[in-house]
């Protein structure tokens, strides 16, 4: 993928640092990437971001177990009272059942609190990824919550659009690409789709694929010709995911 005499894999042939096109490109201001994540309810946005970053959720299994055990304990007590047949063994068994139900409820409450804390810490750690890049990355949290996550890549020098397209599709052919100018391109990274049960499906940012795009394309480009900035955002769609 040698695009020029200087060995740059993405630079257009014959374009040096003093070319007219490069000077024009430096003064061009491409359109800002859309950010529709603000249109979503806060709870929906938070859920999408947590899913995208892999922050774990509290499981309701222990609560379900506590409810069932408590239900059987209450039914057993009422039946025994009505029949006046509550033996010592029955009392002991029902006591254990009630104690287990209470214990499960307490354990579930503690687990919920700890899980919520883990989610907060996992999310805080995940979003630091953008801050660790060797160039400015904005809008990452918005990108995580969008049905159609978009990122605008702005390079410091012009690139060969055909070679750039080939490089992007070598990572994943499903990535939609729009060339915005001599030094800018917009990538639509296919989202992940999760289930919300009866509420249908939900889309959110595909973080593993985004990391591949950065590892295999953006970072090498930065080392080669320089990345000026990456602007992230996206579009939302209220319709259920297919």
Q: What is the mean pLDDT of the chain?
A: 76
CB distance 33 to 152 below 8 Å: yes
If pLDDT is split at 50, 70 and 90, which confidence band does 57 have? Answer: low
Q: What is the pTM of this model?
A: 0.65
Alpha-carbon distance 171 to 154, whole Å? 19
If pLDDT is split at 50, 70 and 90, which confidence band does 86 have? Answer: low
User: Can you give the pLDDT at residue 19?
Assistant: 39
For the segment 50-79, the average pLDDT, to the nearest whole number, is: 60
User: Can you give the pLDDT at residue 1?
Assistant: 41
The percentage of the chain sitting over the pLDDT mark of 90, rounded to a whole number, equals: 40
Partners of 178 in the beta sheet? 186
Q: Answer whether residue 65 shows pLDDT above 80.
A: no
Residues in contact with 192: Cβ distance below 8 Å, sequence separation at least 6, in sequence order: 51, 52, 203, 204, 205, 206
Alpha-carbon distance 56 to 65, whole Å? 20
Residue pLDDT, tens place only, 177-216: 999 999 999 999 999 998 877 778 889 999 999 999 999 9
Which of 142, 141, 152, 154 is closest to 39 using CA atoms? 142
DSSP-derived secondary structure letter, 155: E
């Amino acid at each position: 993928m040698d695009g020029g005499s200087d060995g740059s894999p993405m630079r257009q042939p014959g374009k040096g640092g003093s070319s007219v096109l490069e000077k024009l490109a430096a003064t061009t201001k491409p359109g800002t990437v859309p950010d529709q994540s603000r249109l979503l309810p806060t709870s929906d946005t938070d859920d999408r971001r947590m899913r995208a970053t892999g922050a774990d959720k509290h499981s309701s299994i222990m609560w379900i177990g506590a409810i069932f055990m408590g239900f059987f304990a209450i039914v057993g007590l009422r039946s025994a009272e009505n029949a006046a047949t509550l033996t010592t063994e029955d009392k002991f068994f029902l006591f254990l059942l009630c104690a287990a139900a209470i214990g499960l409820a307490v354990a579930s409450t503690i687990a919920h609190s700890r899980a919520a804390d883990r989610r907060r810490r996992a999310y805080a750690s995940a979003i630091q990824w953008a801050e660790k890049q060797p160039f400015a990355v904005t809008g990452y949290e918005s990108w995580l919550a969008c049905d159609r996550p978009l990122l605008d890549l702005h390079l410091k020098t012009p690139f060969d659009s055909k070679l750039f397209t080939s490089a992007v599709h070598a990572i994943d052919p499903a990535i939609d690409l729009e060339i915005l100018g001599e030094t800018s391109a917009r990538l639509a990274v296919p989202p992940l789709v999760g289930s919300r049960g009866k509420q249908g499906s939900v889309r959110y940012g595909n973080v593993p694929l985004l990391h591949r795009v950065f590892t295999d394309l953006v970072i090498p480009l930065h080392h080669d010709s320089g990345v000026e900035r990456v602007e992230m955002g996206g579009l939302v769609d209220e319709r259920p995911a297919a």
